[in-house]
Amino acid sequence: MNILLVYAHPEPRSLNGSLKAFTIKRLEAAGHSVQISDLYAMNWKAQLDADDSIQRRPGERFDPSLDSRHAYENGLQSLDIVREQEKLLWADAVILQFPLWWFSMPAILKGWVERVYAYGFAYGVGEHSDSHWGDRYGEGTLAGKRAMLVVTAGGWEPHYSPRGINGPIDDLLFPIHHGILYYPGFDILPPFVVYRTGKIDETRYAAICEQLGKRLDELFTTAPIPFRPQNAGAYEIPALTLRPEIAPGRTGFGVHVGDDA
């Protein structure tokens, strides 16, 4: 199978650098084809701006969405964006690997999402009307592909538990899982999170690699998180709120995960 690893860490000799090398070796040994977007090594341009299209809409002010649509529809996107979109279309599975920085992804990776996820490619896909709010959340350009996060965090696992001070890890990762990955159609696998990175010796590193290796071996058989698809009847249209009979009385991110979780 084809696997794209999008990787965001500035130092090859870091824990993330070691885990990246381990991941590539493991996947290739299993017979997969792997492409890597090593964002720092590529000197990836993180900021979305008017330079993202080769030719702007004449006479118009820069509008991030409309300029993105114009460039995407007319083959005017900058080449670095096109290359990443091609990698996404090529991939059967995508892994985003990064250290947790300020409870989210590093800015360079957020910039990759903002620029590569063009209007017409990742959003603004499908019919938009009062009865159908686009092909998204379970449908879209990247439907049928799998995605998984590999995240390292300085905090301890209990700090990210349901009553932990940092908030539950599933909640912190929800905007990435649901908003960034499920939105354009990916099936999302449970994340692989390494906690307490300040306390890693050779023994623990070996155990982490063993656990990560198992997750990589099971990349195409692990059950995805059962997020509720937008267009399968669970949501009232056009409000896009969950029907009252589904998860009655419950609110919060967790209600968007189906009962088979």
In the bound complex, what is the minimum distance in angstroms from residue 192's beta carbon to ligand FAD? 13
Residue 26 has φ and ψ, to the nearest 5°, of -65, -45
Amino acid of residue 178? H
- Of 38-46, 89-97, 99-107, 128-136: span binding ligand FAD (CB under 6 A): 99-107
User: Of 123, 152, 186, 234, which one interacts with ligand FAD (CB under 6 A)?
Assistant: 152
The residue within the footprint of ligand FAD, chosen from 138, 140, 155, 185 (CB under 6 A), is 155
Stretch in the footprint of ligand FAD (CB under 6 A) among 27-35, 51-59, 67-75, 196-204: 196-204
Q: Is 210 in the site for ligand FAD (CB under 6 A)?
A: no
User: Which residue of 82, 200, 246, 255 would you call a contact of ligand FAD, by CB under 6 A?
Assistant: 200
Please state, in angstroms and rounded to a whole number, the distance separating the CA atoms of residues 10 and 115.
Answer: 20
* Residue 152 Cβ vs ligand FAD, minimum distance, rounded to whole Å: 3
- Closer residue to ligand FAD in complex, CB, 20/69: 20
H or E segment and range at residue 112: helix 107-116
Interaction of residue 15 with ligand FAD, rule CB under 6 A: yes
* Least CB distance to ligand FAD at residue 8 (A): 10
Residue 154 contacts ligand FAD per CB under 6 A: yes
Cis peptide before 238 (omega within 30 of 0): yes
102 binds ligand FAD (CB under 6 A): yes
From the CB of 106, what's the least distance to ligand FAD, in Å?
A: 8
The yes or no reply on residue 191 touching ligand FAD (CB under 6 A) is no
Q: Nearest distance from residue 51's CB to ligand FAD, in Å?
A: 26
Q: Is 18 in the site for ligand FAD (CB under 6 A)?
A: yes
Cβ closest to ligand FAD, residue 25 vs residue 128: 25
Q: How far apart are CA 118 and CA 114, in angstroms?
A: 8
Q: How far apart are CA 17 and CA 187, in angstroms?
A: 26
Burial of 240 (0-12, 13-18, 19+ CB in 10 A): exposed
Q: Which is nearer to ligand FAD, 100 or 219 (CB)?
A: 100
How far, CA to CA in Å, does 249 sit from each of 110, 217, 245, 252? 34, 39, 9, 10
Q: How many CB atoms lie within 10 A of CB 28?
A: 12
Residues linked to residue 231 through DSSP beta bridges, in sequence order: none
Which DSSP state fits 77?
A: B
Instruction: Give the nearer residue to ligand FAD in terms of CB position, either 10 or 238.
Output: 10
Q: Pick the closest to residue 30 from 240, 215, 253 (CA basis).
A: 215
The Cα–Cα gap between 64 and 88 comes to: 21
The answer to whether 4 and 87 are in contact (CB under 8 A) is yes
Binding site for ligand FAD (CB under 6 A): 9, 14-16, 18, 99-103, 152-155, 197, 200, 202, 205
